Structure 1
Amino acid sequence: MLMLLENPWIMVLVIFLINIIYVTALTMRMILTLKGYRYFAAGVSVIEVLIYIVGLGLVMNSLDQIQNVLAYAFGFGVGIIVGMKLEEMIALGYIVVNVTTAEYDKEIPRTLRDLGYGVTHYAAKGRDGDRLVMQILTPRKYELKLMDTVKQLDPKAFIIAYEPKNIHGGFWVKGVRSKRLKAYDTEEI
C-alpha cells in the first residue's frame, strides 16, 4: 500500500476520492441533523471524522506537492455535489404542496386522493374570481411526480412546495399510501 502512495498520480487520486467520500458524509450528516435523525447523523459523523483524519493526514504529509492540495480542494467540491445528489435520491421527509387552480373542479382533489395523496381542499377568492386551493402532503420522493400530475390536471395551476417541520394527526398518522403513489404513471392521468 505504501508503494502505491509513493506514485504521485495514485496519491492525487486517493486524496481526491477520500475527500469526495468525506464531504459526501459531511453533507449527509448535516441533512440528517436538520431533518432530526440525530442517531443516524451521529453514526455518519464517526465515519466522516475517520475519513477526514486519513485524508487530511495524507495532504499534510506532502504540503509541498501542490497537486495533492488541489486534489483535496476539488474532492471537496465534488463531494458536495455527490452528497446533494445522494440526498435527492434518498429524499427524506415530507413535502407540502399548495396548489391554487382557477378550475373550480372538485374532481381534481378526488383524483389526487385516488392516486394516494392526502389532499385538503377549500374554496378561495383570488383577484380574478373563485379559486380551488389544495394542500397536499406527500413523501419528498414523490414531489416531482405530484407536480407533473397536478400540471397534467391543470397546466395553469399555481404551485408552491415547502417542507413541514412537524406533522401531527390527520391522514398521515396511519401511514403513507406509498404503494398507490409508486404504482401510477403520470402519463396515465
Structure 2
Amino acid sequence: MNLSEIFNIDPELLNYVIIPLLIFFARICDVSINTLRIIFMLNSRKYVATILGFFEAAIWLMAISQIFQNLGGWQTFLAYAGGYAMGIFVGMMIEERLAIGNVVVRVITAKPADELITFFREQNMRFTNLEGESGDGPVNVLFTVNKRERLPTILEAIKRYNPQALYTVEGVKKVSDGEVVDDRGFSRRIFRFGGGR
C-alpha cells in the first residue's frame, strides 16, 4: 500500500506536488541546520554542533529516500536543488539574526579618530589605537574585538564619526582575556567583554 492509498490522495497530486514540496522544505531545513552547525563548530560549541548534525543527517536521509522512490520525476530533482539553494539563503539569514561569536574590526582613517575613540570608551569597548603611515600621509589605525551582536553599533559609529575611513571586519574563533604589562610595570587586562577599562 502506497501513500496515495493510505491518505486517499490522488497519485498525480502526490507525485507532482506534495512529495516535491516535502523534499523542497526538507532540504531547506537540513541545509539551514548545516549552516548553523558549521557556525557553532567554528565557535567551539561542540555539543550544539553535534546535536544539529544528528538532525541534519536525519532530515537529509528522509529527503534522499523520497528522491530514490520517485526517480522518474524531474520535479523531485528540481525540488531537491531548489531546496538546497533556498536552504543556503535561509541559513545565512538565521546566522545573521543570531550574531554568534566575536569579530575584530580594523579602522584606518586619515582624519583624527578622537570622537571614535571617545565612543569606544563610553561603550566600554576594548580597543587599540596605533599611528601609522600610508602612501598619502599619516593615519590612525584602530583595532577592536567585540561580540558580533555589537557590530551594527560599531559600524554606525564609524560612519558617523569617520565616514571616509576604511574598515574591515573578520570573524574571530577565540579571544584571550589576557594582561599586558607596560614599561612601568603596571598590568591591565585587554579584550575583556562587558568590563570597564
TM-score (structure 1 length as normaliser): 0.83
- Residues 133-187 of structure 1, C-alpha deviations (whole Å, 9 max, x = no match): 21112211222331121111011112122122331123443x336xxxxxxxxxx
The answer to whether the 8 A contact 1:29-1:44 is kept is: yes
Query: Cα offset for 1:96?
Result: 0.8
Quote the Cα distance in structure 2 between the aligned partners of 1:139 and 1:63.
47
Q: Alignment partner of 1:99: what SS?
A: strand
* Map of 1:163 onto structure 2: 171
* Map of 1:139 onto structure 2: 147
Quote the Cα distance in structure 2 between the aligned partners of 1:131 and 1:58.
60
More off after superposition, 20-29 vs 128-137? 128-137
Alignment counterpart, residue 58 of structure 1, candidates 62, 66, 72: 66
Query: Cα offset for 1:105?
Result: 4.2
Quote the Cα distance in structure 2 between the aligned partners of 1:22 and 1:160.
31
Quote the Cα distance in structure 1 between the aligned partners of 2:25 and 2:100.
26
The answer to whether the 8 A contact 1:5-1:11 is kept is: no
* Map of 2:27 onto structure 1: 19
* Map of 1:181 onto structure 2: none
Structural mapping, 1:165-180, within 5 Å: 165-169=173-177, 170-173=189-192, 175-176=193-194
Q: Alignment partner of 2:172: what SS?
A: coil
Quote the Cα distance in structure 2 between the aligned partners of 1:65 and 1:47.
27
Alignment counterpart, residue 100 of structure 1, candidates 97, 103, 108: 108
Name the aligned partner's letter for residue 18 of structure 2. I
Query: Cα offset for 1:89?
Result: 1.1
* Map of 2:182 onto structure 1: none
Q: Alignment partner of 2:140: what SS?
A: strand
Question: Does 1:124 find its partner at 2:159?
Answer: no
Question: Does 1:150 find its partner at 2:144?
Answer: no
Quote the Cα distance in structure 1 between the aligned partners of 2:157 and 2:35.
31
Name the aligned partner's letter for residue 172 of structure 2. P
Query: Considering only CA atoms, is the larger Rg found in Structure 1 or Structure 2?
Result: 2
Q: CA RMSD in A?
A: 2.0
More off after superposition, 16-25 vs 111-120? 111-120
TM-score (structure 2 length as normaliser): 0.80
Structure-2 change in CA distance of 1:5 and 1:79 (3 Å) = farther
* Map of 2:119 onto structure 1: 111
Alignment counterpart, residue 82 of structure 1, candidates 84, 90, 94: 90
Query: Cα offset for 1:109?
Result: 0.5
Query: Cα offset for 1:129?
Result: 2.7
Query: Cα offset for 1:34?
Result: 2.4
Quote the Cα distance in structure 1 between the aligned partners of 2:139 and 2:10.
66
The percent identity for this pair of structures is 26
Quote the Cα distance in structure 2 between the aligned partners of 1:12 and 1:5.
15
Query: Cα offset for 1:5?
Result: 8.9
More helix by share: 1
